Structure 1
Amino acid sequence: MPLKQNILIVDDEKSNIDIVLNLFSLTDTSNYNLFVALSGEKALKAVEKIKIDLILLDIIMPGIDGYEVCRQLKANEKTKNIPILFITSSTDEASIIKAYNMGAVDYVTKPFRAVELMARVKINLELQSTIGELEALYTNLQDSIAYAAQIQNAIIPQSSLFDKYFDEHFVIWEPKDTVGGDIYLFEELRNDDECLLMVIDCTGHGVAGAFVTMLVKAIEREIIGAIVATQNDVSPARILQYFNKIMKKLLKQEDANTYANSGFDGGVVYINKKEKILRFAGAQIPFIYVEDSKVKIIQGNRHSIGYKKSQDDYPFDEHTINLTSPIYGYLTTDGYIDQTGGENGFMFGKKNLLELIERHKDRSFQIQKELLINELKEYQGKHERKDDIAIVGFRVG
């Protein structure tokens, strides 16, 4: 059985209150509990004791008038959301505008018709109930997203793991929303000399993108397990090929009836410090590195992973760099490069990123991180953040 809703009627004239009570008695009052207050002061005390769902409030009263009652209710965190319907003999436009500006949801002039008053009461109570339901749903949704963020943060590698393999490193990971579709993964392999780094840009951002990152993480764990269990050579190109095949299968991308068209762009770096080699393969994502004081770039293949149009057996290119001398490496998703800003709202661009790395390549990675963040923030200005951002930089060799 639904709970009755509490209505407070406020008027200094008892005869006016009796009229309203009589109108309610002529209709269905089974859904309402009716309370009365003969002054603004008594109305404010009543709402402290009773949970009121709607207030029918007169404006012209001795002492605290209806406007002041409304102002105090709206200023109180506990009562600010109670809908207030003014019932008054004031019909001038200024009074009506003032009532709405004070926070009233409706305005009924005396004398009023029973049908009109009851209809407005019903509509505003239903609206308030709907708002309450939406707020509860929103709260539950936000709680779920916060929990998803905890899970996503739990799969992000710890900085201490990077310290074992790299002389220096930095990570910039900034989801556009609470959770995001960009992720970076870092794994130890069969010994202290081997590691695997991936930077992934999944479809979309927010919750949708975060779901895809969970799938990517699950497949990545399967791949790492297979690598650790064997002595086979580690190939970033074959890793991308496997991701492509499994993603298309799990997401049923070959099914014409499948609505979702999800996947990712990604860069995979394998490092073997004992053999002094670095291997890279990319799906749309490039590998930027500094070698012998020169900034270089290896473009990823122009082919994404797991989408409907992704070729099942696409042969990704694999590139090998000898680590006979130290290199500085950078993997980035397109969120940084594609961010709009400046006077004309143009994208920051890959060229600007390369120039930024060139200018600051001799600085520590911690300073490089701060400069990258500040440079984009200044460029973005008042423009909206477009996408998630993930950048990993490291020094090895």
Structure 2
Amino acid sequence: MAKWRFGIRAKSTLALLLVCLVVLVPVAAIGMQLFQGLREHFAETWARNFTELHGERIAGPLSREVALARRLAGSMSIRNWLRREDDEALRQQARLEAEGYRRDFLGRAWFLASRGSLAYYFDDDATSESLVPRYRLDPEKPEDAWFFATLAAPTQVNINPNPDRWLKQVMVWINVVVEDQGERLGVAGTGVDLTTFISSFLHTTEAGVTPIIIDRKGAIQAHPDPQRIAWSSGATGTVSPAHTFSEQLTGKEDAAHLAAAMRRAAATPGTVEVMPALLDGRRQMLAITWLEPLQWYLITAVDLETIHLFEDTWVRIAVGIVVLVLLSVLTLFTLSVDRLLLQPLRGLHRSAMALASGRFDVPPPDAGRDELGDLNRAFAHMARQIANQTQELEDEVRARTAELRDANAAMAASQKKLGDSIQYASLIQRALLPDRALATLLGEHHFVLWRPRDVVGGDFYLFRAEPQHYLIGIVDCAGHGVPGSLMTMLARTAFDDAMNRHGIEHPAVLLEQADATLRGMLDQAHLPRAIAASTDAALVYVDRNARRLRYAGARIDLYWSDGDTVHELSAERRSLCDRKKGEYTEIEIPLREGVTYTLVTDGYLDQAGGEHGFGFGDTRFREVLRHVARLPFDHQAQAVDAALESWRSGLPQRDDITLLSFRID
């Protein structure tokens, strides 16, 4: 009788049925999104209506005050009197004219400031006399800068919130330039108490609402926080960045979006532009409208997290119910999954971890009658195969390890033999250098800097002495390391053969003979043409009796310096064993007292270093020679070596280096 199997598919179906219960979660999320969108819509509508309403409340009275102030400034009596302030009849006519306007102003006050006399006149209900100077304006005083800035401004009307030193109040001053036939005679205007704005606009009872007024440049003209207002910005034309509205925005692109919204609002006065922004670090909705008569922007900032547009009680109840249902569904789903899926999987996990740690004796979990049971049986079979294969691999690894150990031992022995051979070759190469002969005959009047790039190198130097005659030279063979050292053996043999045949008196003859000998050796070896076998060399013959020096070189120049100047004898530009045979000539100069002669291979001159990794170069080398020419030779050696090391700055040595300096006194 076939047994009924409750497979994993059926279990998944059951789990899916349970998951369907949590459809409420996305429904709730969608509901919250709709609620948030509705909230933003109502906040935008509320901000738009609030801004339009208060824009009309502010623009209407102030527009009326601006119109009255314009009429006052345009009065013929006022203009005539400002031209002749000492005329009593004109003063009385102007006083009567101004008195009529005073009764119409909301603040029942006016002021006049004369450009000619710099007198400041003021009249209100408490004033007993009119057109009597209250104050003399001073261009040196900051508090009087508004007057001179207004006269200098291109516009005729200027509206400026500013603390008044006489009234001890914060006023919105309406400044109108008095003009007559193109001449600016002074400034007339009135003031409106700022408390009117605070009571009707700035002080709203709605939480999360911040009303703000800014000018065309973004300077804050009115704000619930007086410290943020840019006082006198309209008159002086200057404003601190901290008092501009754009500086209050903290969003990355909010300032650009604000500028675009302000342009749109100014283009269509009376309309309201709405935009989201981060203001004081909080997400807010900004409603912006342009007050054309005042040249101001009216802004209402609505904090979406603070403003109360709905009754939240029913929202909290709905959220609580949703959370309770969600927790219940999640609990049921968790218990079901744990019982149906997780417990069998934990047994399989324990067996897998034991297998991963190398323990093959741990029994696999019990195999059920569903897909998990099939997985457990497959895992048990896999574990047995892994155990067998692991044993086979361990046996093979042990065998391979033994083979590698023997191979490494043989390789280490071979490497030691090769290293010992190279070290021995280095001792032989060093022993062939004429250090003892140089020390015996030249003593402290010479030094040699010989520095192979590797253990052995392709550079060496020559010295052969006869009574009162010396031959000194350096040779730079192609290559370095072991190939270069083998070339030095051939070159040394070639030069010894040349000196034995022709003596040491003619360096050019020796170079030509060595070139011919080397070419014969290399031709017998049948070397490929691609292998470099060129050799640079320089030979100096010194005749102490005749006090003469004879030099010949193949791509190695002779330098000499007395400490004041540096001279150079140029070598032929073709090396020994070059593709085209070179012709070498001798240069003879008199020996000079106290002069240091120097031969150097290109390994020194081409050494990379400095800030950009350029070669040391001939110019820098000549300067070093001039600097050290008069020093004792042990100090010269230290200075030349230190100059190279300082230039190299830790970069690897590029080539073999040989430098030989001597003096014949």
Q: Which residue of 2 aligns with 1:269?
A: 540
Q: Which amino acid aligns with 2:461?
A: Y
Q: CA deviation at 1:258?
A: 5.7
Separation in 2, partners of 1:90, 1:283: 75
| Distance (Å, rounded) in 2 between the aligned partners of 1:316 and 1:242 | 11
CA contact (8 A) 2:594 2:630 kept: no
Superposition deviation, residue 137 in structure 1: 1.2
SS in 2 for 1:176: coil
Letter in 2 for 1:241: E
1:199 has 2:494 as partner: no
For each residue in 1:178-209, what CA deviation from the matched residue of structure 2 results, as whole angstroms up to 9, or x when unmatched?
Answer: 111111111113xx211111101111111111
- The one-letter amino acid paired with 2:424 is Y
Shift of 1:265: 0.6
SS in 2 for 1:396: coil
For 2:443 and 2:571, the matched residues in 1 are separated by 23
- Quick one: distance in 1 between partners of 2:552 and 2:532? 23
- Give the direction of change, closer, same or farther, for the CA distance of 1:343–1:139 in structure 2 (3 Å limit): same
Letter in 2 for 1:334: D
Q: Which residue of 2 aligns with 1:127?
A: 404
Structure 2 counterpart of 1:142, from 419, 439, 455: 419
- Per the alignment, residue 252 of structure 1 pairs with 523
Query: Greater RCO between the two (CA within 8 Å, min separation 6)?
Result: 1
* Distance of 1:124 and 1:343 partners within structure 2: 49
Identity in percent: 28
C-alpha deviation, 1:385, in angstroms: 1.0
- The verdict on how the C-alpha distance between 1:297 and 1:253 changes in structure 2, with shifts beyond 3 A counting, is farther
Letter in 2 for 1:329: Y
CA distance in structure 1 between the aligned counterparts of 2:637 and 2:404, rounded to whole angstroms: 49
Q: Cα–Cα, structure 1 residues 203 and 92, in superposed 2: closer, same or farther, change >3 Å? A: farther
Shift of 1:128: 2.3
TM-score normalised by the chain length of structure 2: 0.41
Distance 1:260 1:124, change over 3 A: same
Post-superposition Cα deviations, 1:135-180, rounded to whole Å, max 9, x if no partner, equal 1111010010011011101111124534424661111111111111
TM-aligned CA distance change 1:126 to 1:365, over 3 Å: same
Given candidates 470, 491, 500, the residue that maps to 1:225 is 500
Correspondence 1:250-329 to 2 at 5 A:
250-252=521-523, 257=528, 260-291=531-562, 293-307=564-578, 309-311=579-581, 314-323=582-591, 325-329=593-597
Q: Secondary structure at the match of 1:267?
A: strand
Structure 1 equivalent of residue 658 of structure 2: 390
Could you tell me how far apart the structure 1 residues matched to 2:509 and 2:657 are?
26
Name the residue aligned to 1:330.
598
Note if 1:152 corresponds to 2:417: no
Structure 2: distance between partners of 1:264 and 1:175: 16
Q: Distance in 1 between matches of 2:529 and 2:417?
A: 29
Instruction: State which drifts further: 378-387 or 323-332.
Output: 323-332
Matched, 1:211 2:476: no
Give how far 1:324 is off.
5.2
The answer for the alignment partner of 2:25 in structure 1 is none
Secondary structure class of the residue paired with 1:279: strand
CA contact (8 A) 1:176 1:386 kept: yes
Aligned runs of 1:156-175 on 2, under 5 Å?
Answer: 156-165=433-442, 168-175=445-452
User: What is the distance in 2 between the residues matched to 1:300 and 1:92?
Assistant: 74
Q: 1:126 to 1:241 in 2, by over 3 A?
A: same
Aligned length: 286
Seen in structure 2, the aligned counterparts of structure 1 residues 320 and 92 have a Cα distance that, compared at 3 Å, is farther
**Mean CA deviation greater in 179-188 or 128-137:** 128-137
Relative to total residues, which structure has the larger helix share, 1 or 2? 2
Q: What amino acid maps onto 1:121 in structure 2?
A: R
Letter in 1 for 2:598: Y
Q: Deviations over 1:228-262 (max 9, x none)?
A: 5xxxx721111111111111110118957566431
One-letter code aligned to 1:214: M
Q: Bigger radius of gyration, 1 or 2?
A: 2
Residue 379 of structure 1 corresponds to 647
Deviation at 1:341, TM superposition (A): 1.2
- 1:320-378 CA-to-partner distances (Å, cap 9, x unmatched) read 11125443100011111111112211111111110111122221111111011111112
Contact 1:328 1:395 in 2 (8 A): yes
Contact 1:168 1:395 (8 Å CA) reproduced: yes
1:240 aligns with 2:505: no
Distance 1:272 1:210, change over 3 A: same
> Is the Cα–Cα contact under 8 Å of residues 563 and 627 in structure 2 kept in the other structure?
no
After superposition, the Cα gap between the structure-2 partners of 1:377 and 1:292, relative to the gap in structure 1 and judged at 3 Å, is closer
Question: 1: CA distance between counterparts of 2:357 and 2:663?
Answer: 74
Q: SS state of the match for residue 183, structure 1?
A: strand
Task: Rate the CA distance shift 1:90–1:377 in 2: closer, same or farther, 3 A.
Answer: farther
Q: How far, CA to CA, are the matches of 1:199 and 1:256 in structure 2?
A: 25
Structure 1 residue runs of 5 or longer lacking an equivalent are 1-88, 94-108
1:175/1:389 contact within 8 Å kept? yes
* Structure 2: distance between partners of 1:364 and 1:387: 27
Structure 2 residue runs of 5 or longer lacking an equivalent are: 1-353, 359-385
Question: Distance in 1 between the 2:443 and 2:484 partners?
Answer: 29
* 1:345 correspondence with 2:613: yes
Per the TM alignment, residue 210 of structure 1 is displaced from its structure 2 partner at its CA by 0.6
Give the letter aligned to residue 536 of structure 2.
Answer: D
User: Are the equivalent residues in 1 in contact too, given 2:554–2:571 (CA < 8 A)?
Assistant: yes
CA distance, structure 1, for counterparts of residue 527 and residue 460 of structure 2: 29
d(CA) in 1 for partners of 2:444 and 2:589? 17
Contact 2:595 2:629 in 1 (8 A): no
Q: CA deviation at 1:298?
A: 1.1
